[in-house]
Structure formats: structure tokens, C-alpha cells
Structure 1
Amino acid sequence: MKLRTGFYAYLAIASCLGIAVSRSNFHWGLLTLSLLFFYMIYRLDGKSRKLFSLSILFTAGFSGYMTYVDNNNISLHHENETQFPGTVYSPVIIDGNKASFQIKSMQNEVLMVEYYMKLEEETSQIRELTLGDSCNWSGILKQPQQASNPHAFDYKNYLYEQKIHWILTLNLLPEACLSPSNTTFLTSIKQHRQQGINLISDYVEQPNASFMISLIFGDRSRLDDGILDAYQQLGLVHLLAISGLHVGIITAATFYIGIRIGITRQWMNLILIFLLPLYVLVAGGAPSVMRAATMTGVALTLMLMKKKVFSIDTIGLACIFVLLLNPYYLYHIGFQLSFSVSLSLLLASGILQKVQNGIAQLFIVSMIAQVASLPLLLYHFYQFSIWSPLLNVIFVPFYSLYVLPISFLLFFVLLVSPEHVSFLVPLLSYPLEFMNSFAVRIAEYPIGIMVFGKPSIPLMAAYCLSVIFFFYMWEINRRRYGVIILLMCMVFHWNINYVNFFGKVVVLDIGQGDAIYIRLPFSKGDYLIDTGGAFTFPQEGWKEREKEFHSGADVLVPLLKAEGVRRLDKLILTHGDFDHIGNVESLWGEVEIEEVIVPQGFGVGEVEKEIIKEAKRRGVRTQVAVSNTGWKEGKASFVYLHPTKFYESKNEGSIVLLAVLGNKKWLFTGDMEEEGERDLLQHYPNLNVDVLKVGHHGSKTSSTDRFLGAIKPDVAIISAGRNNRFGHPHQEVLDRLSQVDAEIYRTDLQGAIIFRFTLQGGTFSTLIP
């Protein structure tokens, strides 16, 4: 039987559905989608009955395969173990006083290793560790931290999909390690890769070195965060990863050189088929590289066999092969973007062939890629840059035809004569510096960045159907209908909160601090009470890290963007302590702020002064909270109860807000302590509440017996950092709350506390059960 175009592409879709059905929480929805997919195939003509049967078989087979892999993805180690003979499995990464790498234990299980150096001399000792070294490691096992905030990066799941279940924190470095006598082929490749990375780092200055390493070896860990964020916002981050275009250029260049030196085409095809898997390993084995290399390898193999297969089937075979290697790749954003964009470009090849002008063709390619990736970009990054199609027309040729070749030229010079590479580095540094500055400058103008929020699963399905319809309409020369449907989907998404009858209160797990986001039903109001902020302490220069976790940039801003927040109606800063206002700087430029509310006496400290100064510069109103005043939106109401006077103590002078949300009375108390509680009861002796945000993170100087006995909360929420040095929450406070029969929620144990409500009522949930 002669197979039709797209035969293997259909099987690839069936494979993806099988994996998704096995692992997703939306089993019934995916099963329905699978049935629709099978029905569509069944409706094809009689020649496709084999395809129908194979599609069912592939869906069932990959579902079983994913279940088998998942069930066997378990650890053989136990938490009480302390000794771990094993070998170094990954390069050592040193950032300040922290060293991290992977080891493979005797049980053939990979462990993530952390070591915090106490002396600078240890840096040189740990740099001596090389891939394959066998040591006896001593330390404490702990489980990776799962996501404790909505929409946050889930480090535990990230490691799980790499079959890593434990983080080993070393007590000390091993005294002696044995170098391997017989190095495996894979270890040898990893060693050569690391030697290449080290060679670039030693002889090329930053940021040029980080770009060369990213484009040649697929390692983006050294790229500057500011530049990386700018490229991500503008939809250019794919240029900093090894993609199909890079693999194509490298393959074509190698083929051309081989032909020029006299090797026949047939032998060059064989050589390239052998070299492509090696290049995948050298480039770090990212899904996008595997996809491009597999497609190229399949095409070359078919050329040798003198058989013809359509490009769409080549990408289908590549997808099946990659998922066989690791079914978890389906959930990797690199896999999703690589295959969706490649497939769309192949399907739109007829459109591109009609365009003769090279620049116009490049613009259309960029637009097709942006439309194809739009649902995924919104799902993973919550925003879209209107400048992306135009900027890709500029940046794609620059990187593909200039930066990539120059990077390889510099690397070859490094291999031959490292001392002379400095003479050629300006060929890369000056143009790259100009283009990076250009990208950062455009990213600083928020007018081009459209924050949509994270689409729901039904909305994602609508987006995907809209994208398919868009390309179909383009193919039959009715493109305006496709554009209209896609724009309608985007307009609905942009305004989705206006039709959402659910409100939300999120007490974030912001560490040792407070940050509480409130959204009213039908987008009647978006408010933020405090921002959190981590204390930093001076330390020696060698201990300072280039990439430090920041609760503002890594927790607060992503949550607001994922919720589709483009404007905060009120930013309420309860008082001037850094753990309540330290992340305000992260909000400027990321979200519009209508009004900042501060307590009496705010503006004394340096951080407070800077906030007021920046608010004035940006034209943001700053108001002082006045007791017994507030505002109302529908059935929701907000009243400032405290402070009624100026307090010397910032904690005692915290803004106290009484709110009615979801038919419950909420009392947000900042860091108010005993004196403030006493004054509050004096002014409001009949105060009673349903939900109490416990003052001062559960300190024993707050939440006194008298106060709790008067307000009688049904629910108490404590925002505190894990293993904080203050010992919050104190046991005395927990005992007092138990005495008034309050249900206690704690961010340090349960992650973010979420209250989802309507105008009639609501329910509590936690990120960590």
C-alpha cells in the first residue's frame, strides 16, 4: 500500500496523545480528543484503514510506555543514608560559594549535589573534580522543593523528569578521588564538551564567551540574566539555543567542505549520519537539537536508500524517535516549540514558495513561527511581544549568518592558536554588543509587551484550533477569516477576567515576609498587600553569587503576569520593614500601579524614600491610610482600621485592613504587635472576624490571648519562611490559636494559601497538601 503524505505525522500525534492521556489530570478530556482524532482518521478513504489501526496502537502503546516509565521512575535511596560511593556525572558549576553538580551512585541513580564552601581555597579543590571521577561522598539527602506558589517553577518536577529524586548536601569534600582507568564513550564526549566550554571561558571575555558557549555547546547558564530576559520578552530567546536552523547551517557547511576536498556525496551523507548523534551529545542533547538532527539524519538515510518521504513525515518520525528516547520530553517547552514551529513552516511551504522577495519571505516565516508558537508562549510566559515578528527579521539573519559562523571561527582559532584569538574577538564583540543593547532598550519599553495571563486548558484548545484554522484559511486564500478568528480568541483572552465570576485571595509563600494578592470577581479590582523582600547580608566578594533567587522577580511578578494583572488598583504597604516592601522595585515597569497606600510616618528609611521618589517619578499617587475610611466594590468592602496615631515602632504602626471577601470578614494585620492590638480593640471593641492574617509572621509578641479571644477567628493564616532564623511561628501563638479553635494555614508548611470565592462564598486550598 502506498502511504499518503503525513502518515508518520499522524502516528506522532497519536504518540503524543498516548503520553498525555497517561500522565495528565485531564484524562477524560484527552480521551475525548483522542476519539475525535481517531474518528477524523477513520473518515479518510479506504487506503487509510491501516493508519487508523496504527494510530490506536500507537496511542495505547505510548500510554503504556509512559505508565511503565513513570512507575519505574523511583529512588533506590533512603533519607537516612549518609554515605554515597559514586562518580561525577556532570560538570561542576561554581557560583560564589556554592558548587553544584550531579553524581551517579553505585545503585546507578543520579543525585543532584550541593556544596557550600566555607573557605575560598576550596574553590580550587572542587575545580579539580572531573567527569568520571570516583569518590566516596558524605552528606545529607533532602527532597527537592516542589512549587509552593501558583504558576511558579516546579524544581521537584523538573528533576523528576530527569529521574533525579534527591539533593545531596555535602558535609565536606571527599579527601581522595580516583580518576577512571577506562572512560566510557559518553563520559569521553562529556569531557570533551566541558573542555571546549572551559577553553572559551579561559580565553574569551564575557559576554562574548557566554554567547559562544550557548550557540556551540547549547549551554545558556552563563548568559546575563538581563539580556536573557530581554530576548525572552521580545520572542528572540530561540536564537540563543541550538535550533534546526543552526543544525542545518552546520550540516550544509560540513557537507560543502567535504565535497570541496574531494569526498563523494554518498560518503559525505554517511559521515554526516555518523556525526549528527555526536553533535547532539556535544550540544547538550536538548530536544530542539535532537529534533533537527533526527530529521536531518532521516533525510540523509532516505537519500542513501533512494527513497522519498515527505518532510512532514520526517518530522513525524523525528517526534516518535525523540519520545521513545524520553517520553518526558513531551512536557519540555523546547520540544513543544521546536516541533510546533517546524510543523507549521512545513505546512506553510506552499505559501512561502509564492513569495519571491527574500525580505518579505523572511518576515512571513517569522510571522508563521510566531502564530504557531503563540499558544505555547502564552501558556509558559503569559505575555507576547508585538515587535517579535519584525525583530526576528533583523535578528535571525544576524545570528544565523554572522554570529554563528564567527563563533565557530573563533572556536577553531582557539583550538589551533588560543593566544591569537583576542585579535579576532572584536569581530564578534562590537556587533553583538550593539544588537544586545538594542534588544534591551526595546524590552524596556512596556508598550510592546502584552500581558495576557496564563490560558486555561479549554482556552488553550481554542487557541490551537484558531491557529489551525488560521493556516487553513491562508492556504485557501481566505486569510482574513483566519485572522479574525485568531484575533477574536486573543481579544477574549485579553478580557477574560472581566467575565470571570470568581475572585481570588492568594497569600504567597514569599519566604520570611508578606505578599497578599486580591482579585475581585469580574475584575472589579486588583490589589496587593505588601510585596515581600529578602534580607541580604554583606559577605566576602568570592561568596557572592551571580544568579541568586529573588522572590520579587521569581515569585511575585510571574504570579501577577500569570493572573493577567496589567494594573494594580492599589499597592498597600502595611509598614516600612524590608520583608514587606523590599520587592516593590521588582514591580516598577512590570505592572502599572494606580495608587500606593502607606501608613503614617512612612518615608523615613532609605528604601521607603526610594519608593516614594520612584512613585512620584512615575506619576503614581501616594496616599496615607486614614483609619475608618476605605472603599467598596459590589459586595466586597475594605476599611482601614489602624493606625489611628503615629507609632515609633514600625510594626505597631502597621496598616490594619478589614475586608469582606466571599461573605467572610478578613483582617490583614501586617506586623502589628501587642500595643497595636490593644489600641485596635479599644477603638473597635466589637470587632470579630472570620479570617485572620496573623500578625508579625506568628511572633509571640503578636496574637495575644485577649486579642484572639475578642475577634474569635475561624481561620488563621501565617506567612513565614521555612526554617527562618526567628523561629516563626512561635509555639505559644499556635497554642493560642488552637484555644480559639482557629483552623491554621501556614505558608512555610503548605506553600501559598488560596481562597477562591464568588459573591456568595468561597473555599480555601493550599499548593502543598
Structure 2
Amino acid sequence: MWRQLYRPCQRLTADSSRKLLLWYRTLTRRSKHVPDGGGNVSNVRHWPNETLARLRTFVTGNDGNPRLPLYRTLLWLGLFFAAGIGVARLPWYWMLIAAAWCRKPLLVAAFAAGLFYATSYEWGYRPTLEAFAGQEVVVQGKVTAEPVWKNGAWRFRLDSTGGESMMVKVKQSREEAFYYGDLLEVSAVLEKPSPPRNPGAFDAKAFYERQGIHYALTAKSVRKLGRDDRGLHGRLFVPIRKRLLEVVDQQFPGEQGAVIAGLLLGITAEIEEETMESFRVMGVVHILAVSGANVAMILLPFLALLNRLRIAERRRYLLGIFVVLLYGGLTGGGPSVVRACTMAVVWCISRIVSRESDLLTSWALAGWIALLLNPLTLYDPGFQLTMLITMGLLLLPERLRFLFKMMPDKLATLLAVTLTAELLSVPIVLTLNPAFTPLSLLANLLIVPLLTLLVPLSVCTILLGLIHAGAAALPACVARLLLDALILPLQYTGQARWLVRHYQAPPIWWLFGYYAWWWVYSVRPVKWRQIALTFFASFLLVGLIRWEQPLRITFLDVGQGDSALIQTPNGKVWLIDSGGIPGFLNSTFDIGKRIVVPALASYGIDHIDVLVLTHADEDHIRGTTAVMEHFTIGQVLVANAADPSPFFQSLLQEIHRRHIPLLEPRAGQTVALDDNLKIVFWNPPPKTSRANQHSDLTDTNAGSIVFSLHAGHHTFLFTGDAEQVTTTLSHVDVLKVAHHGSKNETVLPFTLDHALLSVGAKNRYGHPALSTVEQLHQKQATIWRTDRHGAVEAVLDGDILRIKTWLPAQDTK
């Protein structure tokens, strides 16, 4: 085995010099005229030096001879360079396996270069202020990205004088603006971006690390020291973009202007959250990210106009390159922008030198440039999407046209292209947003011709608006009508959530197999496709079939509140409380919408069989409104429907309006969930005796629903906020500690293995109380805290109980 692993390295050492020398001689060999099929010398433009001609072939992928196969050296080198970056974060033996699989020295060199480059890049951008994390600091630096104002605060990137980049949040009015190039002194506590604390949560840590940002500041005070906007970005792109946005605001007021800014410039900060959610649900949010379609809709009309003006071909395409580069700078240069602009520039160059460019080689060159700028871009879902979809659009539509052979050619092509984009985008999109509707295929099919008209017309409106506002009135009027035709149907269907289902993200091995199969399908001969299609269908079924699931209990991190999710082996779903921030705190953060709904959706849940509202406190129930908007509910259990709490009563009215059954369980009742799974209620007591119990505690907490879940000889106890509950249990495997671990917690009469404390970090109540923690330690129980561990998941598979936390161990100290 070891000999097989080291053999490629031995071959590389012995043969690399000889093969690289032969490759160099081939590259610099003198040219010869190559006859075409009719015996005539090909009519090609001869370069003065064959080395330059072969360099052109290396970049464009075309040597000018249609009878010879295209050279795609850059494509294969790029793929192996990306593979080297990909294994940089894997264990060392994966590197040896990857090197052993490759037999070409040049490809091994590309793989090693990617590995070395990614490792060096991460080492060079490693965090250097770990010793100051959690402490108050004063940082001086420069604003190096245009600030964004949203939800009452400014957010921007600050490059400190010490070399660290930080994300800064400043809570102040929109009128007190910050600008690119501002020199600031910021006083704040140095924090680290948080990894995901719950299922389906946004990974802020990974997102910012890909941009070289390791720290975040929520400013206590900010002082402006001066301004430095030197450089091409500050002196050219920022002023032009600012002027363009002013014209957009003049010609497209309100929501329409925000959508136009997203369509043309990729700026989505001003788009309302409801509209963005509708675009995500309908699968068309990609139109708000600048891509190849945007570049084509701007470049091609521009070239057509120059052609009508009788501009020479060479100058026409040179001006096209200038427009593409200018547009790329105005839109910020994200992964999709780099890919689209690179392919457009290579296409223009190929037209200038009278050659047809190889689109796959252009695709590879775009990937090279993006990865050389930042190798961590490889882990960016946006980069993965744009590269996969673009390659698919280059290879697959012709292979899928047979599905639409009875239709006109143009319609068949449009359908094949749309289907290709859907097939290649949906699996990765599900890892980001688990909601999907088959209507997205229809939506994408309808918006393509609409955007073909809207984008050039909007660009024309803006250019005319730069001259005079009145000159843009007519095209702006037509563009606004097209915008209504785009936005209103998407908003209506997205908010109505027609045919929307939630799907659990596929595992990584399934994604690799899925995309590898499409690659094989696109390059294999026709006779193999039927066999490949059968194999692929079987592969999909094996990956998507849900085998027998374990009992899964997830205690969500909802801050100073409660929410737990029970998923049984037979597919039943119970949600116990939904978290929430009490109304008197005047917070705009919706726990249900931001935490609970994404968590349930990430598990592929569409229906909640039972929603348990343990009592009427808002930190347990305020997230229920968002839950009812996104999921169907079989029935709701409450402790006391007569509780006078205003929010609780408004919630009950909404439950009745939706015709959801409402029940009040009582101590002694039992619910059988499966043959070996049951729930036993211990509280509230029967109504006849309730007035005589818990006289020293408030009715709301003391009357919380308390129940135990029994799976074989394992027991899980859920206590709500009931601090003193009588049970006959002798042993509990997992206890959800009552009332966030307050000091009124009663003496536990049973033995205990694991204790879960649902508490908010640095909460105002001092939870959990030291006395409660000491009692749990005396019980020799393992303590899990949502403020330190994030969400905590207990999985019972057969007779084996496993505990998983969302935050890694080093982040829970």
C-alpha cells in the first residue's frame, strides 16, 4: 500500500525534469501551416512568435485548427489546483491519496501548488488579537468597504493600522453616515464572529473568515480622524456608483429602486426582508447577484450599438472589455462577478484575434483568477453555485434537449437551459435555504425574457438620467411596469408559500456523487446515457430514502427562553415552546423567525403534530406567531387557556382562527407515540385540586406543563418553569432544568445523568443560580448550557444515547 502511495512521488522526482523540458520545447516549437479538410492552408492570423501563439492557445483553449481537439490544459490545471485547496483542511492522508490518484506530473504540480497556496494564505491571514478577545479595545483604522445602513445601525469593514480587518457595527441614525475611506477611532469590546449556534443558523464565523475578517466590534463610541479615499476604487468606482444610485432613487422610488440596485449592481441592503424571502422561496434570488446574464445583457446591446455606429471590430471589442471591467468594479468584484467578467473578457479577446474561445477554458481561467485572489473563495457557496451552474450550462442543455424534442427549437433551448440551472443549483441551495417549490422552475422560465427587456431598459434609463431626469421619463415608465410584472407575482406566490416544502440538506457524499454523475453524463457517448440514467436514479433513491430514524431531541439556543424539538422514529414532531423576547424589552429581533423556524426547516419539517405551550410567559411563546406562519400544526396543548396575559390571549385567537384544536392536558394523562414510546404528564394538577397547590409561587410558573418522555428504559423530563413538581420517577437520563436554573429549583428526588440549562448569555436575572448548579454537581450530572454550548441535541439510537452540541468544545469555556 505504501509503495503505491509513494510511487507517484518517485515518478515525479525521476521524470519531471525530462517531461517539463519536452513540454517547453513543444510550447516554443516553430509554427507550420496546417491544411484544412480540403487541402487548403487554414486562413489564420499568424503571430510573430510561435511562443505567443501557443500561449494564446493555452489561455483561449483553441489552436485555430478545427480538426484538432481543443487544448484544455488550463482547465485541468485549474481543477487540480482547486483540489489542492480543497484538501488543505483535510487530514494529511487525504493528500497522499489525492496525489496517488493523479499520474500526470504537471497535474501533481498544480495540486501541490494549490495545497501550498491555500496553507500559506491561511497562515498569512491568521488571527493575531486572540489575547484581547472579550476585552474593551480602541482601534484605529480605515473604512475599506462601502458602509451599509440596516435595522438602525451602520455596518462596515474596518482595516486597522495593525493589519487586522474587522466588521464594525455602529448604532446611530442614517443621517450620521460613514463613507468609504473614513479614518476612524472605534472604542468597543473585541468579539469573535459566532459560529452557528442552532440547526439551520447562519455561520457568521466562516462567512467572515473567507473575507479575512476574524473579529467584530459593536462600537460604544466612534471618532472620525480624517479621510483617505486614494486608489482606483475610492476615486473612480465609489463616486460613479454613488451617482448611479442617486439616479436610481430618482427614477425608481421605493421598493422598485431597491430591486433595480440589486439587479444591476448586486446591492441588496435596501430590499425589504419580506421581498427577499419571497425571492428565496421562489428560487429566483440569484437574479439579485450579478452574474453572466447581467454582463451579457449589458455587453451585447452595447456591442450592437457600436456596430450600428460603424465602429471598427477591433475597437468595438476593446471598448467592450473596458465596459466589462468598469461594470465589474462598480458591482464589487464578488465571485460571480469575477467569473462572469473574466469569461466576457476572454470572449472579447478571442474575437479580437479572430478565434473562437473555448468556453470551458474561459470558465477555468475565471476560477483561477478568483482562487488566486482568495483561495478560501472555494468554500464560498456563491462561488460554488456560479461555477457549477456555468459549467452545466456549457455542457448539459444539448444533452437535455431530447426531453423537449416536440417543441420549437427556441422554446426547447430555453426549457433545457432553465432545467439545467435548476438541476445543478437546487442541491447546494438546500444547504443554504431548505425551502423549495416546484414553481421555481416556472418562475425562472418566465423571468428570463422579462429580464432580457428589463435590464437593458433600466441601464438606458439610468444613462439618460445622468444627462437629465426628464430624458429618462419614458423608459423609466416602461421599466417600472416591467418591475411590477416581476415583483408583484413573486411577492404574492412567495408569501402565500404555494407548494413550498422543506427538505433536509443532502450529505456531502451525496453532493459529490450527484455532481460527478452529471459530469460523466455530459461527456460520455450517447449509448451510455440510458445506463447512466438508470444508475443515477438508483443513486438518488438510496440517498433520499429515509431509513429508520432515531429518537432526536434538540434543545434550541433561544437566549433567555425555552424551545425544544422532539422527532420520533415514526416521524412525529412535537415542539415544546417557541422562545421569544418579552415585549417590555422593545426588541425587534424575532426569535421564532430567526431561530426556531430555520431550525425546524433544516430538519425538513413541514408539519408539527403537537405544539406544547408550557405556560403564558412570553420568553416561551412569543416565537409561536412565526411558527404558525411557516408550518401546519395538528394540535396545541396549553396549561391554562384562561390565563389573562394579553399576548397569550391574542395567540389563542390566532389559533382558533386557524381552526387548530386546543387542549389542556392534566397530570396523570398518558399519550402513546409508538409501541415503545410514550409521554406522561405530571403537571398541571387536576382543576379540582389546583387551587390548593403551589401557594408560594405564581400561578403561571407553577402551572406549567410538565411531562416525561419514556423510550424503553430511557427517560427525558421537560419541566417548563415549574420549579416544584412531584413525580414518581427514580431516574432521569436528560432533565430540562426548570425556570432556567433559578434559585427556587426544588430538590431533585431522582438520579440524573444529564441536565440541560436553557439560559441566555449574560442574562439580567443571573441564571443559572449557583445553588442550582451545585445541586446538579452533587447529582454527578453532566451539565449542558445553551449559552455556552449552543443548541444541544440528544439522540437515542437503539440503546445508545449520544449528546451533540452546536458550538465546539473550545468555544464553550
In 2, Cα distance between equivalents of 1:427 and 1:17: 48
Alignment of 1:341-380 (within 5 A): 341-348=389-396, 350-351=398-399, 356-380=408-432
Q: Secondary structure at the match of 1:84?
A: strand
- Pairing 1:463–2:504 present: no
The residue that corresponds to 1:10 in the other structure is 76
Candidates 768, 792, 806, aligned match of 1:767: 806
Candidates 126, 131, 154, aligned match of 1:99: 154
- Pairing 1:695–2:717 present: no
The residue that corresponds to 2:269 in the other structure is 221
In 1, Cα distance between equivalents of 2:193 and 2:238: 25
Alignment of 1:662-673 (within 5 A): 663-673=713-723
Q: CA deviation at 1:580?
A: 1.3
Candidates 437, 445, 464, aligned match of 1:385: 437
In 1, Cα distance between equivalents of 2:400 and 2:803: 52
The residue that corresponds to 1:573 in the other structure is 613
The residue that corresponds to 2:298 in the other structure is 250
The residue that corresponds to 2:327 in the other structure is 279
Candidates 726, 739, 763, aligned match of 2:778: 739
- Counterpart contact for 2:667–2:686, Cα < 8 Å: no
- Segments of structure 2 that go 5 or more residues without pairing to the other structure are 1-25, 27-67, 691-697
- Pairing 1:413–2:454 present: no
Candidates 623, 628, 631, aligned match of 1:583: 623
In 2, Cα distance between equivalents of 1:30 and 1:489: 27
Q: CA deviation at 1:65?
A: 1.1
1:493/1:30 Cα in 2 relative to 1: closer, same or farther (>3 Å)? farther
Code of the aligned partner of 1:718? L
Q: Which moved more, 1:211-220 or 1:560-569?
A: 560-569
Alignment of 1:264-663 (within 5 A): 264-348=312-396, 350-351=398-399, 356-399=408-451, 401-418=452-469, 425-446=476-497, 448-468=499-519, 471=522, 476=526, 488-496=538-546, 499-521=547-569, 523-537=570-584, 549-601=589-641, 604-628=644-668, 629-646=670-687, 649-661=699-711, 663=713
Code of the aligned partner of 1:101? F
- Segments of structure 1 that go 5 or more residues without pairing to the other structure are 43-51
In 2, Cα distance between equivalents of 1:207 and 1:387: 24
TM-score, scaled to structure 1: 0.87
Q: Which moved more, 1:418-427 or 1:56-65?
A: 418-427
In 1, Cα distance between equivalents of 2:159 and 2:796: 48
In 2, Cα distance between equivalents of 1:494 and 1:688: 38
In 2, Cα distance between equivalents of 1:486 and 1:378: 20
Per-residue CA distance 1:166-215 (angstroms, 9 max, x = gap): 112322231x43233x7211222234323433443466411111011112
Q: Secondary structure at the match of 2:702?
A: coil
1:96/1:605 Cα in 2 relative to 1: closer, same or farther (>3 Å)? same
- Counterpart contact for 2:796–2:802, Cα < 8 Å: yes
Q: CA deviation at 1:483?
A: 5.8
Candidates 217, 226, 241, aligned match of 1:168: 217
The residue that corresponds to 2:761 in the other structure is 722
- Counterpart contact for 1:506–1:752, Cα < 8 Å: yes
The residue that corresponds to 2:170 in the other structure is 115
Candidates 107, 111, 121, aligned match of 1:59: 111
Code of the aligned partner of 1:533? G
Q: CA deviation at 1:643?
A: 0.8
In 2, Cα distance between equivalents of 1:570 and 1:33: 49
1:392/1:30 Cα in 2 relative to 1: closer, same or farther (>3 Å)? farther
- Counterpart contact for 2:313–2:352, Cα < 8 Å: no
- Counterpart contact for 1:131–1:191, Cα < 8 Å: no
Per-residue CA distance 1:543-599 (angstroms, 9 max, x = gap): x9xxx5432222222222221223222222211222212122222253332222222
Equivalenced residue count is 724
Q: Secondary structure at the match of 2:390?
A: helix
1:581/1:183 Cα in 2 relative to 1: closer, same or farther (>3 Å)? same
Code of the aligned partner of 1:753? V
Q: CA deviation at 1:716?
A: 1.2
In 2, Cα distance between equivalents of 1:501 and 1:35: 38
Superposition RMSD in Å = 2.9
- Counterpart contact for 2:450–2:486, Cα < 8 Å: no
Look at both structures and tell me which one has the larger radius of gyration over its CA atoms.
2
In 2, Cα distance between equivalents of 1:383 and 1:116: 32
Q: Secondary structure at the match of 2:159?
A: strand
Code of the aligned partner of 1:99? W
Q: CA deviation at 1:261?
A: 3.2
- Counterpart contact for 1:204–1:422, Cα < 8 Å: no
In 1, Cα distance between equivalents of 2:634 and 2:485: 35
Candidates 178, 182, 185, aligned match of 1:136: 185
- Counterpart contact for 2:299–2:323, Cα < 8 Å: no
Identity of aligned residues (%): 25
Q: CA deviation at 1:347?
A: 0.8
Q: Which moved more, 1:195-204 or 1:564-573?
A: 195-204
- Counterpart contact for 1:602–1:608, Cα < 8 Å: no
- Counterpart contact for 2:281–2:497, Cα < 8 Å: no
Code of the aligned partner of 1:149? N
1:686/1:566 Cα in 2 relative to 1: closer, same or farther (>3 Å)? closer
In 1, Cα distance between equivalents of 2:356 and 2:753: 71
- Counterpart contact for 1:466–1:489, Cα < 8 Å: no
Q: Which moved more, 1:191-200 or 1:330-339?
A: 191-200
1:469/1:609 Cα in 2 relative to 1: closer, same or farther (>3 Å)? farther
- Counterpart contact for 2:298–2:455, Cα < 8 Å: no
- Counterpart contact for 2:397–2:413, Cα < 8 Å: no
1:308/1:204 Cα in 2 relative to 1: closer, same or farther (>3 Å)? closer
Q: CA deviation at 1:341?
A: 1.2
- Counterpart contact for 1:383–1:453, Cα < 8 Å: no
Q: CA deviation at 1:244?
A: 0.5
Code of the aligned partner of 1:13? L
In 2, Cα distance between equivalents of 1:645 and 1:578: 24
Per-residue CA distance 1:263-290 (angstroms, 9 max, x = gap): 3211222233344233212112121111
Q: Secondary structure at the match of 2:685?
A: coil
Q: CA deviation at 1:652?
A: 1.0
Q: Secondary structure at the match of 1:15?
A: helix
Q: CA deviation at 1:627?
A: 1.8
The residue that corresponds to 2:33 in the other structure is none
Q: CA deviation at 1:446?
A: 4.4
Code of the aligned partner of 1:23? R
Q: Which moved more, 1:355-364 or 1:212-221?
A: 355-364
Q: Which moved more, 1:504-513 or 1:565-574?
A: 565-574
Q: CA deviation at 1:384?
A: 2.9
